[in-house]
Every structure is written in structure tokens, then in C-alpha cells.
Structure 1
Amino acid sequence: MRILILTHSFNSLTQRLYAELAADGHTLSVEFDIADSVTEEAVALFAPDLVLAPFLKRAVPESVWRRVPTLIVHPGIVGDRGPSALDHAIQHGYTDWGVTVLQAEAEMDAGPVWAHATFAMRADATKASIYRNEVTRAALAAVRQALAHYPDWRAGRWRPRLQDYADPAVRGRPHAPMTQADRALDWAAMSTRDILARVRAADGFPGVLDTLFGQPCRLFDAHPGPRLDGATPGTVIGRQHDALLLATRDASVWIGHVRRADSDHPFKLPAALAFAKEAADLAQRADLQPAYPDITYRESADGRVGFLAFAFYNGAMGTPECERLTAAVHAARQRPTKILVLTGGHDFWSNGIHLGRIEAAASPADESWRNIQAMDDLCLALLEATDRLTVAALQGNAGAGGCFLALACDEVWARDGVVLNPHYKNMGNLFGSEYWTYLLPRRVGEEAAVRIMRERLPLTAAQAAARGLIDRVFGDTVKDFADELAVRAAELADDDIDRRIADKAARRAADEAAKPLATYRAEELQQMWRNFYGFDPSYHVARYHFVMKTPHAWTPRHLARHREPGWHTAAGGAGA
């Protein structure tokens, strides 16, 4: 089918649908929802069989949905209507939820249902995490089911089901948008569990409006803290790195990120960075458990495999995060293990340098330079680990430098459903570093490396494996992946491990003799210096708009194939 994807932005759900449906053989093009006239033009140019809208913030124009069947992907069960669907489900503690694919009509979310899929709600997960995992997986299943109905719908042999609230199977109901009053925290009265539920239900967007140090801000990235006595609920009582610890009525919570309304930087930042002056004198509470869960290490029962997890918020790795993770890699290498598995976080492996930290710095160019050097140091620590095998275990998505950080390991394993964006140029024509000019051609060859970087398109784990970027793909859910990961790591440790380690060291020595890693790094950083300090400001402009979430003014040409000159003729015109 020819499908036009109409979306507010190319978010995680949209990327997964794009990559999977392209793999299914559909012809796809993307248009960002900028204005009704732009959408109408896109439909005229692409002549789609249908329009698929996975992520919108306003209604599809009637001029479109009356002309072309338009399917809305709604993150709620059948009958649910209105925004904040997932927010309500998490804050109210629902045990199951779903995704509904419905046809656009005049009333929002009220059209007939083409397909739906349900899932169990994961306990203690944030809205953003459930959206990237359970919602995305269910949405893909429901969209495929809806597309399977299309031939019969067109032939008049099948009709979508109306949302009839008299039907007991229709459990969802219309609801109003969730307001900050609905999300408000009462630190003196609410339990830690209630506070965590409210912040988690707002994570990603819009956050929970509250105050820290007497200043208004929105809270994100909340985790349970230790039980403490005597502190006034709602007060900041310590920190771990850049996370702040707040007392609650019955324990405490870690707040990892905030967005201040009174700042020159009105975007999400690590909490202690956003309140740098106020947090400067807070004691570092490294002894407290449970700790803020960003870097953890454990070993298998037999001591042969070390597992190094790093769950950085949104996969962003600033200079401090890179330096601490590099130190953790060096510490892990002091252990007598044969294999080091780096697992990343549930939602993201890594998305490379921390654009928010960079934007907030006194000199974004200088911080960009420090950050990329710290990322390179981390990659180098893995490349120089010739005394053991290393495995990048991607539970979650990876982008830009995070993809090439994974390639610095000997093996790359990924959960089925993970999406990779192995390129840099969408961020203002950034050249990129992380030794990618060595790592990518080493895996896929020079020609394929150029093609991957030029395409700038998301790849599913299966597509990445087919192109040589990934070695193994397994596990439908994070739990499935984690369970199988332990088994596969143990098998790898049994697989003539000493010989494999020796072979690895020999290959690394041969590669170093042919062209030293220092040369690759110097060549890449020469290009990055131009990105950061040169006459072309496109990286700085793109970073600013990304961090500030500036509304899109156009759809990138590599996504909007219908806007390529001559595309309609090459595709054979409408209905081809």
C-alpha cells in the first residue's frame, strides 16, 4: 500500500511504525503536521491509499479525512477519548491498557474502530517508558491488523466497528485533559508511592509542576529513595551526582531532572545542574540505598560475566556521565571476568552527547568539545579492553553516537523492537566521532557505511542485523531479553573463550598497526571542530531547536519522499 504518515514529530512510535511498515513492503512517505494546507498538499502529491496518524496534537483537516481514509493511532482502550490517555491509566493504577486504531471523523477519537490491541501495564514504569515499549508494540500489532482489513473495506466486504458505549466490551470512556491541578503533589499527606505515580504519569511531558528551593519547576525522572527520619516532606536533603533527594512522608524520592520556568534554559536539565547554585552545598549521599539508578554493576554467579548497566535519562550522555561510565568500565576490567556486558537502560542504550547540557553551558561550543572527547574516551576504553570480550546488549533504542558506542564492543545484541538511528547529519550536518570511521566500515564495508550514513533513516533491530550492524536479535520484551541475555552470555563464556580473547587481541594489534585509533580520532575531531567552532552554524541552530522543541517548519526531505522532484512521475502516478 501507499501510506502517508502524518505526525507531529518523528518520535519513537512513528519511527518504529515507519521502519516496520517499510520492511513489510509498503511505500511510505512522512509529512509533519504543520498546517492544514501543507497536509492537503502532501496528500495531493503522494496520492496515498490511506493516511496513518500515529502522533498528533490536533485534528486532521476534514478536507483530508473525507477524501482519504485516515487512521488515528490512539494510546487508549476502545472507547477512551481525549488527551492524557496514558497519563490517566498510570496515575489511576490501571493494570491493563491498550491501543486503538480508529478512523478520523469530526469528533476527536470518536470514529469507528479498525483494530485494537491490549497489554498489561508494567508496574512502576513511567509514561514515556510504557509509550516506547508496550504502547509501541501494541500499536504496531493494531496497525498491521487494520491494514489487513483495508482490501475488504475497499471492496465493501468489511466495516469498522462503531464505538457503542452500551456495549459492555467497550470499557473506555471520554475524559478531560489532565491538568496540573490533577497532578498536584501534597508532600505532607501523600505516600512515596502516590508521589512516584504522579511524576511517572507525567514523565516525558508535561512533568509535574512543583517547587524546589522555593522556585517553580516541573519534576521528571523520579525514583524511590531510602527511608529517612526527621526531614520535612518536600525538602531537598541531599544529592547523588546531579540527582536531588527529597524527603517524603514515609521515605524519600530521587528527582533526576527538572524544567525551570524562571531560567534562561527552560528545558529539561539534570536537577542539580538546573539548580546549580542552590545544590552546590548539598552533601553527596553516595552511601544511601536505594541509590539513583544510573550506573550499576553486578556479576554472574560463577564470576565469569560482568554486567554493567547505565540508564541515563533519554539516553543522553553528558561529559560527567561519560567520565563516570568510563571509570566504571576501567573498574570492571579489574575484575577477573571473561566477558563484560554493557546493558544500557530499558528505554535507551545511548543517544550520544547531551544536547541539553551543551545548550545550557556558558560556551556550547566548548562543552560540545568536552562532551565528544569524553564519549571518545569511553569508546577507547572499550576498544582497548583486549583482555576480555565485550557485548553491547541493547534493551532500548540507540541513536547517533550511541549506535557507534555499541559498535565499540565485540558483539552487539539487541532486543527485537529496538530502533537504531546510526547517523549524525540530522543534527545540523554533524560529522560525528566515537571512532565511527573505523567501527562502521569494519562491520559493513566502506560502501554500505556511506549508504547508511547518507540515508538517515531508522532501522529496526532485524534490519540492522541484516546489514551487519547487529549480531543477534532476541526477546520481545525487556524481561524476555534480560532473561535470554544471561543465558547467551553464559554460553559465550563457554565458547572457547580464551582463544577468542587471544584472536581479538591479535586483530586489534593488526588494525592498530595498519592505522592507529589515534589517527581515526584526530581525523574525526578535525571535522567536529569545524562543526563546533567553524563558520557553519547549522549544528548550533539544529541543537537549539531540538532542545527548545521548536515546532517544525517543514518536513525533512529524506522523510517526505513525495516532495522529491520527479517522485510522482518515477512512482508511476496515483495508485501505482
Structure 2
Amino acid sequence: MRILLISTAYSGLTQRYYTELEDAGYTVSVELHLGDEAKLLEGVELFKPDLILCPYLTRRLPKAIHQHYKCLIVHPGIKGDRGPSSLDWAIQAGLKEWGVTLLQADDEMDSGAIWASKTFPLRAATKGSLFNREVTHAAVECLWEALSYLEAPDFKPEPLDYARPDVKGQLRPQMKQTDRTIDWKKHGSEQILRRIRAADGTPGVLDEIYGQAFYLFNAHREDHLSGKPGEIIAIANQAVCRATCDGAVWIGHLKTKLPGGNGIKLPTAMALQDLLPKPANGLNGFFGKALKFIDIDYSKPGRQLPCQEVWYQLDGEAAYIHFAFHNGGMSTAQCQLLLSVYRHVATLDVKVIVLMGGEDCWSNGIHLNHIEAAANPADESWQNINAIDDLIYQIITTLDKLTIAALSGGAGAGGAILAIAPDKVLARDGVIFNPHYKNMGELYGSEYWTYLLPKRVGLTMATQLTEQRLPISAKKAWRMGLVDKVLDRQHTIFAAQVKQSVKSYLADLGALQVLLDEKAERRCADEAAKPLAAYRKFELTQMYANFYGNDAYEKARQCFVFKKCPTKTPDNIAKHRGAEPLKAPQPGSLLHFAWQESYALGDKKIDDQHKDFFVLAERLIAAVNKHEMNDALFDLYQHVKVHFGEEEAFMNQVGFHHYKSHVKEHNLMLEKLLEMDKKIQHDDWNAEEVTGFIDKWTQHILKSDMAFNQHWQEMFKFCV
């Protein structure tokens, strides 16, 4: 069956539908509804679907589509609920139960016949958290129920009938800022929390702080502090505590209201840095009500404040590190904080360290909002990528403890690579991985991914994942080896299963020690073959060019930060648009060659020539067209020929006894380069041949050249 997903954005729910259907063997493609109805109609006609599903739609589906194709729309509301702010109204009203309805597209929005409907308890949580968890799970259940009906000849969807007792919803208007307004003197903490949670993600609650308009996000209840309603009374972890009429709440993030909507969502203290009152001196400071600055002792276990983003818990000989960063972005300072907590935990008397991430989001890598707000975004990008690299290096090189990643939320880009840095990876069923970077302005990526990803899934699969840039489900990640175990979809059960898995490792200390010994041996062998520093140096070289060399990354970052709508559906998800298919995975897009000190012979001239060879080989493997290949191969051939000639003359001069066999190896390598040149001329280029050539060259240095070096050193000592 051919299923087309039509969505306003390639959202989390859209990705979940995509992976569910792909895993089940359906032919799936995606067309984004970006406001151009002619383009949308064109996409539908190109794909010719048997069924259209709309997981996330904020625009009306054209009549020309739903009249000719079976179209089912996901609505995040109970039966009978209608309108664009369904979940917002439910959260703000404090309802105890809500639901999801899968209904057939109709001329009137949300009024079509009902194919499936599910309800769930409404947690006291943000709109984003509820959407990622309860709404998504209910929507997936509705999906599979509806698909089963397609094969049932007697099934008829239920017409919307408000006379039915189970139809309890109603038509609601789009929620406006006037509906969300907070009266700090009148509204209690619970009402304020509900209003901010109902607007979290988008659009935020418009409010005023120190005379300036901001949108409020990421609110938490404070149970001890109090003050004059509306006043900011404390600061901690970049959040501010604001008094209510019956207590206080922490506000974690703000977005400045600017013309054109170009404000950037930032941690509250950062957004208010020019507005917060400065500490007063003298009698004014003594009698005035100064802000309370609360320092968090991150070396202590437990979460000391509700706004605390990083904390750890101890359970016997296991430590669980939580890092609930808002929306998964990890700024330079957040990476450094997490690294300091990790290092502290690593000094404790524990045998297992479990990285828990956040419940709704594991990590999405570097923090694009912080970068965009920086005085020099390129510099901040560089600092941020190095900070997350430092964290991952520390995890990889932790050899005396078993490290585990436990993902209850999704992981993207560098966050997906962070998840595979530990020894074991446990994922909740339903988690989505996006282990790629190129969608962000063709970023190459770092986080030691060129070491970690092929080690987990193999070179070919690693190349496919990073080049195709598609989401993968936890189950698919398990099948390919990216994940070690998939656990229950329910968060509470998942957490219990993680703890049970940890206890099973600790129950047999002998077996655990064997695991640690094997890990140390592999790490030593990997380091000897190619140091982590070589991987990092190459990745950061590419990232430096991304950050400073062109504006593709800058443009993509700004589109992300300012939520600019794309102009077309990306080719990698719109399979029906006949985009040029991806070529077979080529190692050149992933492999790289770097000089290592173990190759050094001790002669500066020869070592420098060998180093230049690796630079030229990198240039050849990075060539993207025939002209570049010709130039790179010519330079490489000339360099190798000159180097071989000088090396052979020196060997002959000192009477090296393996001179003839060494020259034979040189000639074979030159012949191989000429053969590669012919293949390039006949468009029979294969990057794997370069990989093989580099491997042979490396072995030649380590064996044949080292043998000559030993001969030379011994002769030199004898002569002396």
C-alpha cells in the first residue's frame, strides 16, 4: 500500500508515523503543506497514494484532494472537539482526561467522520511533553486501528453526531494571547503554570517584565519561596523565580517580543541580563529587597531545585545522571556543566554510570538558539562543538566503569551520537533517532561520530544514515545495532526496566569485570590503530569550514531559530518527486585519513613527505567531480613518484638488503595509481579503491619503511 503523509512540518508525530509505516513495510512518502495548494496537488498526483494521512496539519486540505483520495487527519482532541487550539484549551482548563481522534477530511475543519478515537489521563505537563508522549501514542494506536478497518468491507466510519453521549467535545476558537493573559495579583501558581504549559513550545504566554514584553516558557512550581506577586525574587541556573499570590513559580525561558517575530528563546537570566537590577550598595542595599541568588551544589545527589537541569542519583553501586535540557539543545555552558557532573560521578565508588537525559528529549546536540544570540555565532559554534566533544571523549575513555545510555526521549544530530558513546544503549519503544547533520546547512558533524557510528553499525550503514538523513525508530535502531535493547513504551515501566538492567550487571561482579577488561582492550586497540585525536581533528577541520567558510550553515540555523517555513519539501523525504536517487554509499563521505605518530620513522624529510601524502589522499577522497579528481590524483601521483625516487636512492646508497623488494612495492603502488587514473577517465570511479590504496600505503610505512628505518639506525650506531 502506498501511503502519503501530508503535514505542515516534518514534526515528531509525522516522523513517528513515517517510521511506524516504514518498519511495517508500507511504501511511504511525505509532502509538506506549505501553503502552495498547486504544489501540494502536484505532489499527490505524482505519488498516487492509496491513502493520505495528515499527522500534523495547520492548513486546510484542499477539496480537490480529499474528494478524490481517502484522507485521514489526526486531531489532538476528544470526539467532537474542533478547532486549532484543542490541547491548549484542555491544559489551561485543567481537564483530567483528553484524547486523540482520527477523522476523515471534510469541507469543514475537524467535522469529518470518525475512524478511531483514544483517550488518556491528562498529566500536569507542558503541551510539548503531552504531545510527544500521550498524544503521539494515542495517535499511533488510532493509526493501526484505522489501517485494520481498510481491509474490513463492512466498516463505516462514525459520523460526527453531538447527540451521542460519548461525543463530549465542542468547537473552540483559536486561543489568543488575551485568553492566556496572567494576572499575577489574582492568579495562583497552579493557574499560572497551566497557562504557561498550555502555550509551551508555541506561542508562549505574552507578559511584561521590567517594562519589556516577553513570551514565557518552561515554568516550574516553587514550594518554599514567596514575595510580592509579580516580582522576581530569586535567580538560579539561569531561571528566575517570580512570586505569585499564593507562592512562586520558576520561569526557565523567555523570548523577547520583537517586530517580525524575530525574538530568540533563551534562558530567562540571559534574556534579562540588561534589565535585572544590579546589587545595591550602602543603606539602599541593606534595606532594599535584593534578588536572592541561589547556588546549586551539583556535587550533591538529588534535584535541589525544580529548575535544576543537571543532577544525579545514587542507587547502590550505580549512579544515574539526568540532564533535562529544555528542548534538548546543549549550549557550551550546559555541556561543560554536564561534563563536570560526570567527572564528579566518575570519582565516586560506583561501578555503573547511567546517562538518563531528559524524559521527553535525550539531546539534540549543540544549542542553535544560544549560538544565534551570541556576539559571534561562528565562534560560539566552535566553542559549543568542542564542549560537547570534550564530554563525549570523557565518556569514551571511562574504562573502569560500565556506562549506559538510557533514552526515554528522542535524539538528534550530535545528541544521537552522544547516546552511542556509552558502552550500552537502552531505548524506550517509540523513541526516534536522527543520527545525521546535513539538514543543518550541510554540517559535517563532530562528536567522534566517524569513530562511534561505524563501530556500532558498520561503515555502509553509517554512510546511509548520515547521507539519507531519515529518522529511524528504536526498533530499527536495534535491528541495525545502534541500540542494544528496546524497552517498554511507558516511561514509568521503562525507568523500572533500566534499573533492573543495571542491577543485573551489578549482580555478577565477575562478569562485569570481564566486560570492563574487554572494553579496555578494545579501546587500547582502537587507539593504537587510530587515535581519537585523529578523528576529532578531521571532524573539526570540516566543522571549521562549515562555521567560517560559507553561509549555508548560518542560513539553515536562522531558519531553524526563527521558525522560517521551508519553500519546498526536502528531497530526502519526498520520494515521489523523482529526486536523483542517492548513490551507493561511498566510504569517502565518512572515512578520512590522518597522519599518526606511530607512522614516524625519525627522519624529518621522509616523515614530512609521508604527512603530505595523507593530506593529498584526503583531497582525492573529498573530490566531488571529475575535474577535481583529475587534479588531486595528478598531484598525488607526482608527490608519490618524487618521494619514492628519493627514498630508493637513499636505500641504494646505504646498501639496504631489501632494496629490490622495496622498489617492487613502490612500482606496484604507482601502477595502482595509474590504473585509478584510467578508471576516472572512463567514469568508473570507486572511492573504495582509494581506501584500499591508503591501507596498503599505511602497511607499507609500518612494515617496509620501518624495516628500512631499523636497518639505517643499526648501521648508524655501528658506524659511530
- 1:425-436 paired onto structure 2 within 5 Å: 425-436=438-449
Give the letter aligned to residue 526 of structure 2: D
Q: State whether residues 224 and 290 of structure 1, in contact with CA within 8 Å, keep that contact through their aligned partners in structure 2.
A: no
Which residue is 2:63 aligned to?
A: 62
Structure 1 residues 432, 103: CA separation in 2 closer, same or farther (over 3 Å shift)? same
| Structure 2 Cα separation of the partners of residues 258 and 228 of structure 1 | 21
Q: CA deviation at 1:3?
A: 1.0
Partner in structure 2 of residue 516 of structure 1? 531
**1:469-500 superposed Cα distances (whole Å, 9 cap, x missing partner):** 00011011111111111111111222422222
CA–CA distance in 1 between the matches of 2:353 and 2:515? 14
Aligned pairs (5 A) from 1:64-103: 64-103=65-104
Among 488, 502, 511, the alignment partner of 2:517 is 502
How is 1:96-495 mapped onto 2 (pairs within 5 angstroms)?
96-122=97-123, 124-152=124-152, 157-229=154-226, 231-262=227-258, 266-279=263-276, 281=278, 283-286=292-295, 289-300=304-315, 303-495=316-508
Render the CA deviation track for 1:475-530: whole Å, top value 9, x for unaligned.
Answer: 11111111111111111222422222222122212211211111111010000000
Partner of 1:573: none
Identify the residue that residue 51 of structure 1 maps to in structure 2. 52
Instruction: Please give the per-residue CA displacement for 1:389-439, whole angstroms capped at 9, x wherever unaligned.
Output: 100100100000001111110001010000010100111110000000000
Could you tell me whether the CA contact under 8 Å between 2:215 and 2:255 is conserved in 1? yes
Counterpart Cα distance in 2 of 1:481 and 1:284? 36
Indicate the larger mover: 420-429 or 495-504. Answer: 495-504
Select the residue among 563, 567, 579 that pairs with 1:549: 563
Is the CA contact (8 Å cut-off) linking 2:30 and 2:575 kept in structure 1? yes
Q: Tell me, yes or no, if the aligned pair for 2:487 and 2:494 is still in contact at 8 Å.
A: yes
In structure 2, what is the Cα distance between the partners aligned to 1:280 and 1:456? 46
Q: Secondary structure at the match of 2:518?
A: helix
Which residue pairs with 2:684 in the alignment?
Answer: none
Q: Report the structure, 1 or 2, having the larger helix content.
A: 2
**Cα–Cα, structure 1 residues 408 and 226, in superposed 2: closer, same or farther, change >3 Å?**
same
Aligned with 1:357: secondary structure? helix
Question: How far does residue 54 in structure 1 lie from its aligned partner after superposition?
Answer: 0.9
Larger Rg belongs to: 2
Higher mean displacement: 168-177 or 101-110: 168-177
Distance 1:449 1:565 in 2: 22
Give 3-state SS (helix, strand or coil) of 2:275's partner: helix
Q: CA deviation at 1:272?
A: 1.4
Change (3 A) 1:566 1:244: closer
Q: 1:287/1:390 Cα in 2 relative to 1: closer, same or farther (>3 Å)?
A: closer
1:27 is matched with 27
Per-residue Cα deviation, 1:2-46 (whole angstroms, up to 9, x for no partner): 111110100110000100111111111111102111111011101
Q: Using the TM superposition, give the Cα deviation of residue 117 of structure 1 relative to its aligned residue in structure 2, in angstroms.
A: 1.5
Distance in structure 2 (CA, Å) of the matches to 1:26 and 1:291: 44
**Distance of 1:228 and 1:351 partners within structure 2:** 33
Distance, in Å, in 2 between the alignment partners of 1:272 and 1:262 is: 18
Which whole-Å CA distance do the structure 1 matches of 2:23 and 2:130 have between them?
Answer: 24
Please tell me whether the aligned partners of residues 236 and 296 of structure 2 are also in contact (alpha carbons under 8 angstroms). no
* Distance apart, 1:265 and its partner CA: 5.0
Check whether the contact 1:32–1:552 (CA below 8 A) recurs between aligned residues: no
User: Cα deviations across residues 186-217 of structure 1 (Å, max 9, x unaligned)?
Assistant: 11122111111111111111111111222111
User: How far apart, CA to CA, are the structure 2 residues paired with 1:384 and 1:50?
Assistant: 49
Provide, for residues 157-179 of structure 1, a one-character-per-residue CA deviation record: whole Å limited to 9, x for no partner. Answer: 32211011000011111111112
CA contact (8 A) 1:54 1:72 kept: yes
What's the C-alpha RMSD, in Å, of the aligned pairs?
Answer: 1.6
Structure 1 residue 287 displacement after superposition: 5.4
Residue 653 of structure 2 is matched in structure 1 by none
Question: Is residue 527 from structure 1 mapped to residue 542 from structure 2 by the alignment?
Answer: yes
Aligned partners of 1:253 and 1:444: how far apart in 2?
45
Amino acid in structure 1 at the alignment position of 2:18: Y
- Hey, what's the Cα distance between the residues in 1 that align with 2:277 and 2:181? 27
Per chain length, whose mean CA-contact separation is higher, i.e. which structure has more relative contact order (CA < 8 Å, sep 6+)?
A: 1
1:278 CA displacement: 2.3
What's 1:571 paired with? none
- Distance across 1 between alignment mates of 2:330 and 2:240: 18
Describe the shift of the 1:381–1:280 C-alpha distance in structure 2 as closer, same or farther (beyond 3 A).
farther
Letter in 2 for 1:232: K
One-letter identity of the residue aligned with 2:138: A
Deviation at 1:549, TM superposition (A): 0.6
What is the match of residue 5 of structure 1? 5
* TM-score (structure 1 length as normaliser): 0.95
Partner in structure 1 of residue 627 of structure 2: none
Match of 2:664 in 1: none
Residue among 572, 577, 581 paired with 1:563: 577
For residues 41-73 of structure 1, the C-alpha deviation after alignment (integer angstroms, 9 at most, x for no partner) is 011101111211111111100111111111110
Q: 1:322-363 deviations in whole A, cap 9, x for unaligned?
A: 000000000101110000001011111000000001111111
The residue type paired with residue 12 of structure 2 is S
Q: For the residues of structure 2 that align with 1:493 and 1:451, how far apart are their CA atoms?
A: 36
Q: Percent same amino acid among aligned pairs?
A: 46
Which amino acid is 1:31 matched to?
E
The CA distance in 1 between the partners of 2:175 and 2:467, in whole Å, is 41
**Whole-Å separation in 2 of the counterparts to 1:400 and 1:180:** 34
- Counterpart amino acid of residue 39 in structure 1: L
Cα drift, residue 283 of structure 1: 5.0
What SS is found at the alignment partner of 2:576? helix
Structure 1 position 293, deviation (Å): 2.9
Q: In structure 2, what is the Cα distance between the partners aligned to 1:357 and 1:290? A: 23
- Label 1:41 to 1:280 Cα distance change in 2 as closer, same or farther (>3 A): farther
How far is the alpha carbon of 1:151 from its aligned partner?
A: 3.2
- Contact kept, 8 Å, 1:96 with 1:120, in 2: the verdict is yes
Whole-angstrom distance in 1 between the partners of 2:367 and 2:277:
21
User: Matches of 1:523 and 1:163 in 2, distance apart?
Assistant: 59
Equivalent AA in structure 2 for residue 251 of structure 1? G
Q: How many pairs does the alignment contain?
A: 559
The one-letter code sitting in structure 2 at the alignment partner of 1:246 is R
Amino acid at match of 1:561: K
Q: SS at the partner of 2:444?
A: coil
| Gapped regions of structure 1 (runs ≥ 5) | 568-576
Instruction: State whether residues 237 and 308 of structure 2, in contact with CA within 8 Å, keep that contact through their aligned partners in structure 1.
Output: no
